[in-house]
Amino acid sequence: MNKNNTNEVFAGYRTLSQAEFSDLSSRILYEDNHLLVMNKRSGEIVQGDKTGDEPLCDTLKAYVAQRDQKPGRVFMGVPHRLDRPVSGIAVFAKTSKALERLNESFRDGSVQKIYWALVEHAPNPEQGTLVHYLVRNEKQNKSYAYARPKTSAKEARLRYALLRATQRYFLVEVELLTGRHHQIRCQLSTIGCPIKGDLKYGARRSNPDGSISLHARSISLLHPTRKDRLTIVAPTPLESM
């Protein structure tokens, strides 16, 4: 990089350290002119919130500006979100056209989203479909599940299957069929299977790093411009070590 152009290239963005730059680069699962897909770490926020912490979308703007020596503004749209303590696939749009089309894909249900969760008890039965009606409590930042429709409730649907068991925990695969606030966390807790580390939804103890053991494992979507199906898998935190 030409040091004389540094002010032009990074106008409006902070300069990432070499360690930050390398870390982000190593976690990009897919990128082209329209999409950037990251393996998000627990603790990172996808989009800005009331904490004021730098969101991943802004960090990625600085990364692209620095990597590509872009003199202008960088576009990085957010078509979906992951909760802060959740790890795994986070999709970003690099153009407004891609963002518009991805937003529509997430709305119409054509995006397949698979999650892995470590839970404290084995689900019974070992596989099935859950349907609940969730009510979000904004003050508590928590959702509550009901068996029947209720005022202000939104229908929440997912499929699950037990993959394997350890001595203390059970690995469950979840296909998310709707996208509601804390949906997987709330629905699994409702059937007596709180996610490891998720104190908000009934876990016995926290994880040392403040994470919960929920990982966005894979996503399958139509590419916003090519229209072919793109499937991406994210290594778990243990697989990434």
Does residue 8 register a pLDDT over 50? no
pLDDT at 1: 41
H or E segment to which residue 29 belongs: strand 28-31
The total of other beta-carbon atoms located within 10 Å of residue 111's CB is 18
- Residue 103, φ and ψ in degrees, nearest 5: -55, -45
- The mean pLDDT of the chain is 93
Does residue 3 register a pLDDT over 90? no
Task: Pick 3-236's CATH classification: 3.40.50.2300, 3.30.2350.10, 3.30.930.10, 2.40.30.10.
Answer: 3.30.2350.10
Which of 143, 120, 132, 144 has the alpha carbon at shortest distance from 204? 120
Mean local confidence (pLDDT), 33-52? 92
pLDDT at 66: 94
Mean local confidence (pLDDT), 66-87? 93
Ramachandran region, residue 148 (left: φ > 0; alpha: ψ -120 to 50; beta: rest): beta
Residue ranges of the domains in the chain? 3-236
The total of other beta-carbon atoms located within 10 Å of residue 175's CB is 15
pLDDT per residue as tens digits for the range 90-121:
999 999 999 999 999 999 989 999 999 999 99
Q: Determine contact, residues 112/159, Cβ cutoff 8 Å.
A: no
Q: Determine contact, residues 146/133, Cβ cutoff 8 Å.
A: yes
Bridge partners, 134 (sequence order): 145, 154
Mean local confidence (pLDDT), 202-224? 96
Cα 53 from Cα 144, distance rounded (Å): 27
The total of other beta-carbon atoms located within 10 Å of residue 70's CB is 16
Does residue 11 register a pLDDT over 80? no
Mean local confidence (pLDDT), 166-187? 96
Whether the model pTM is above 0.85: yes
